[in-house]
Amino acid sequence: MGSIRIKRIYEEADPADGYRVLVDRLWPRGIKKDDAHIDLWLKDVGPSDGLRKEFGHDPEKFDDFAEAYRKELWQSDAVQVLIDAAGNHDRMTLLFSAKDEEHNQAVVLYEYLNGRLRT
């Protein structure tokens, strides 16, 4: 099983990133698709539009957002795509566009995946 990490898509791509997966439902502003250096854009693993808008990247709402997003992930078929990818690559990097590196869906997804991969 490969290792997983998270990184802002605005940071420079690095060969050490391994398999690069964009986990945002919306394409990041200011990034050209040719310059993104992603291997997969897995829109369906991002939070639903309603949940994303309700959260609004407000750190005070993060705990409620994380709980609701974990429930969405539990019912998502897209999660299995990431689990399979983690098994097929030495390293996988989950890419996100949020400015707040501590309060975003990639943090929740990272923790969720690591929990699923340990079981």
Q: What is the pLDDT of residues 55-82, one digit of tens each?
A: 999 999 999 999 999 999 999 999 999 9
Rounded to an integer, what distance in angstroms lies between the CA atom of residue 80 and that of residue 77? 6
Rounded to an integer, what distance in angstroms lies between the CA atom of residue 62 and that of residue 19? 27
Domain boundaries, the chain: 3-118
- Predicted confidence at residue 1, as pLDDT, reads 60
**What's the predicted TM-score (pTM) here?**
0.93
- By three-state DSSP, how is residue 3 classified? strand
Q: Give the DSSP letter of residue 14.
A: -
Task: List Cβ neighbours of 30 (8 Å cut-off, separation of 6 or more).
Answer: 10
Do residues 88 and 55 lie in contact, with contact meaning Cβ atoms separated by under 8 Å?
no
